[in-house]
A and B are shown apart, each in its own frame.
Chain A
Amino acid sequence: MFGYYLDLAMRSLKRNRMLTALMILAVALGIGTSMTTLTVLHVLSGDPMPGHSQQLYAPQIDPQGADSKTPDDEPLDQMTWIDGMNLLRAKRADRQALMTGGAVPIQPDNAAIDPFYTKARYTTADFFPMFEVPMLYGHAWRGEDDDAKARVAVISAKLNEKLFKGEDSTGRTIRANGADLRVIGVIGDWSPNPHFYDLNMGDYAKSEDVYLPLATSRDLKMSRSGSISCWGNGSDAEEALETESCIWLQFWVQLDTPAKAGAYRDFLVHYSQEQKVLGRFERSPNVALLNLMGWLDYKKVVPSDVKLQTWLAFGFLVVCLVNTVGLMLAKFMRRAGEIGVRRALGASRRAVFAQLLTEAGIIGLVGGVGGLALALLGLWLVRKQPDGYATLAHLDLPMLAFTIVLAICTTLLAGVLPAWRACQVAPALQLKSQ
């Protein structure tokens, strides 16, 4: 029966090419724009650490003075050096890392390459196992290296390619900010999106090229970048950063079970109380422990423009579908005579309904394919945009399947009303008027 309906549908669609083309165009335009924006939204709100993000948490405490500028209800989103070090040394989580970002000048041995600046991350040993950083060559540093301010570095595959032509460079040295660092590891393909562990670098920043122990970076006076905020008498002079009331470090912990997360939160409260007794904190304990996805939500990482674009595109899709409903209604009602004959010859209302929906489905399928082409074009245009996230906009397989399904479903939905109206045709009346 379905084959027969297909045949009928094709004949009908061919009969009025103009109207058919209009319907397909409307569906394709609506689907194309919606899928373009939905794909961008999907990519941007993705999980940077799939399967692992529930165990990663960003602890927040509030060391500010009683009369400082942020309202009392929000703990700070970065750490002071003193608190960061205290929490790091407490080792109350399964893993913990303290870090900040910067830019280091690299002077290649090869005179053909000019000195250049590259992004660096100054962190502690747990960073690598905690964020599941894959190693192409060598290994990351250990806790002892942090304590010893070891002159070691882990570099990205990209930098390894540039400096050492992609060879195993472990044991060789790089000259960074005038100091020699021994390469002990090369990172494989790793670039979590968003750049969750330090959003100050740009929400969708690429991962860094050079990693070295935080203590080493302080020792070598490596230049630091990112956000810094001070209160009270806090001065942001570089040499005073480790003692002043300024926040400039990111602290992440891994807590394997919800029970451990609960215990860690209690620990943060306890720590704040202790610091208040010591006179360092002036406010009563004000802590938060968001997991990775909660953190991204709290920091409003997905750009509001992208959400707005998605709403706009769906508004457009609704208009396109209303348009399709109208056109299909016109098309089906025009065939009232033909439907009357089929009904008179014994076709049930259900059969006529199924036949008309088949026709709607074909429009949906063709419109969906057209929409897919438009979405690919749209994403290509998005990638040309200047925003930091633009290069991430690619259609993945689930989104591709979703496009076609969305197109067919919405068109079938649009076809329901016209098909139902057409089924109501009284056969006798139609036959008589012919």
Chain B
Amino acid sequence: MDILPILSTLRRHKVTAALVILEIALTCAIVCNAVFLVGQRLDNISTPSGIVENELLQITANGIGDQPDAHARITADLAGLRQISGVDSVTMANQVPFGSSSWNSSIKLSLDQKRPTVQSVTVYYGEDIPKVFGVEIIAGRAFQTNDYTWFDDAAKSGNATFPKIAIISDALARKLFPDGNAVGKTIVTGTNEVRIVGVVKRLTRPSIMDYSTAGYSMLLPIRMTMSMGASFIIRTQPAERERVLAAAVTKLKAMDNRRVITEKRTFDDVRKAYFASDRAMTGLLIGVCVALMIVTALGIVGLGSFWVAQRRRQIGVRRALGARRKDILRYFQTENFLLATIGIVIGMVMAFGINLLLMAHYELPRLPAIYFPVGAVLLWLLGQVAVLGPALRAASVPPVVATRG
């Protein structure tokens, strides 16, 4: 296909051609970045928690007024829940991955270190968390029964009752001890020295500020009482969840009718609630991308039709001089391809610029190179589909038009 005549024609329609190019460029720039943002959100949404999500239930119950004998109460509550058929294991945990409250501490490698090595690490409290949450211990050991201290004892001033051992996540272990083998090392949480006795494969944090540190977590052998927003975590079979949840709520009410259940949900609900706004944003971004492409396509159809109508005479002359329908069709397709290509090149530069702005303001990573060829192909296709209608209409202009005044 000879593109020189096309170029010389376009030179006579600079403004219109420039508008098509500009529209394609803007669409290309916005769509590339929007699709990239969608990818980021989808990555966030699929962040693994490290726990057996489809087997867990969470119930938060609060007592009213002073709660004497907190240790005995919670022990009785847990024993009561274990009696429910279908309950695999139960614990009281201070928090869960993607939950609504979060307990964090800084980590230093020695007591005299001035600035912490890691600013913020999530600290999980609760008996047998690895077993109940279904978290795999990949090095060292789990806590044993006599390792545990009660939360209210550990929290009292003075470090005498604070646990002396900890289990950390693999992500944290790699950060603190890049050379490997964290088990046996000593770290400082807040002002307390603890020795690492085990490493778990993955245990994600409740609220994630930065996805690169989402896996920084630690477990301490502390038994939670029913306070400070702690909740019952029940492990059961996936099919039994609804029944067990209802039965557990009834049981807890029966054991103390004055308590208020403030939250009861499956872990699926926990995850769904946590990522709800990411999902909404994804939907919105996809919606805008689709709308953008439709508007651009309609613009190409509109301008294409205008051009065809304007050039009916010329098309007729070309047909009369021996051009086949196919040649006319090709002409408009090639013209669109040229315009789209220029638009895509400008659009890519703009996409890169927008990405730089987003990186500066929203702490996003750099746009991966794969978006450029994919974006280009997408817009070429869009242009070709949009121009097909007007091009076919052009091809059907009969040669006789040339003879009419």
Interface residues of chain A, those whose CB is within 8 Å of chain B, are: 19, 22, 25-26, 29-30, 33, 67, 69, 105, 107, 114-117, 177-179, 221, 223, 225, 230, 232-233, 235-237, 240, 244, 304-305, 308-309, 312-313, 315-316, 318-320, 322-323, 325-327, 329-331, 333-334, 385-387, 417, 421
Contacts and interface: CB of A to CB of B under 8 A. Distances in A.
A33 B287 CA distance: 11
Question: Which of A322, A333, A387 has the most CB atoms of chain B within a 10 A radius of its CB?
Answer: A322
Contacts of B281: 305, 309
Question: Which of A30, A116, A326 has the most CB atoms of chain B within a 10 A radius of its CB?
Answer: A326
B280 interface: yes
Contacts of B292: 316, 319
27 contacts: A29-B291, A33-B288, A67-B115, A178-B65, A235-B157, A237-B155, A237-B156, A237-B157, A305-B281, A308-B37, A312-B285, A316-B291, A318-B26, A319-B26, A319-B295, A322-B299, A323-B298, A326-B19, A326-B23, A327-B306, A329-B16, A329-B19, A331-B306, A333-B310, A334-B306, A334-B310, A387-B277
Contacts of A67: 114-115
A320 B295 contact: yes
B295 A29 contact: yes
B345 to A, nearest CB: 17
Given A69-B116, A312-B288, A326 B20 contact: yes
Contacts of B229: 225
Contacts of B393: none
A222 to B, nearest CB: 11
B64 interface: yes
B296 interface: yes
B59 to A, nearest CB: 14
Contact of B296 (A19, A105, A244, A323): A323
Contacts of B19: 322, 325-326, 329
B64 A322 contact: no
For chain A, what secondary structure do more than half of its interface residues adopt (helix, strand, loop), or is it mixed? helix
A322 B106 contact: no
B66 A327 contact: no
Given A305-B281, A312-B288, A319 B65 contact: no
A308 B358 CA distance: 9
Nearest to A70: B119
B191 A117 contact: no
Q: Which bucket holds chain B's interface residue count?
A: 35 or more
Contacts of B115: 67, 69
A387 B280 CA distance: 9
B34 A312 contact: yes
A116 B262 CA distance: 8
A417 B298 contact: no
A301 to B, nearest CB: 15
Interface in B179-197: 190-191
Contact of A421 (B15, B62, B309): B15
Contacts of A25: 298
Nearest to B34: A312
A323 B15 contact: no
Contacts of B79: none
A33 B258 CA distance: 50
Given A26-B299, A117-B62, A319 B23 contact: yes
A315 B296 CA distance: 13
Contacts of B277: 305, 385-387
A227 B69 CA distance: 27
Contact of A117 (B26, B260, B288): B260
Interface of B: 15-16, 19-20, 22-23, 26-27, 29-30, 34, 37, 62, 64-66, 106, 114-116, 119, 152, 155-157, 190-191, 227, 229, 258, 260, 262, 273, 276-277, 280-281, 284-285, 288, 291-292, 295-296, 298-299, 301-303, 305-306, 309-310, 358, 361-362
Contacts, number: 138
A22 B309 CA distance: 17
A221 B361 CA distance: 43
A235 B155 contact: yes
Given A117-B262, A177-B65, 14 more contacts: A25-B298, A33-B291, A69-B106, A105-B64, A105-B260, A114-B260, A232-B191, A235-B155, A309-B284, A312-B30, A320-B295, A326-B303, A333-B310, A386-B276
B359 to A, nearest CB: 13
B362 A308 contact: yes
B80 to A, nearest CB: 20
Nearest to A306: B281
A364 to B, nearest CB: 16
Contact of A334 (B15, B280, B296, B309): B309
B273 A116 contact: no
Question: Which of A225, A320, A387 has the most CB atoms of chain B within a 10 A radius of its CB?
Answer: A320
Contacts of A322: 19, 22-23, 26, 299
Question: Which of A115, A233, A323 has the most CB atoms of chain B within a 10 A radius of its CB?
Answer: A323
Contact of A326 (B156, B302, B358, B362): B302
Contacts of A334: 306, 309-310
Question: Which of B115, B302, B306 has the most CB atoms of chain A within a 10 A radius of its CB?
Answer: B302
Nearest to A227: B102
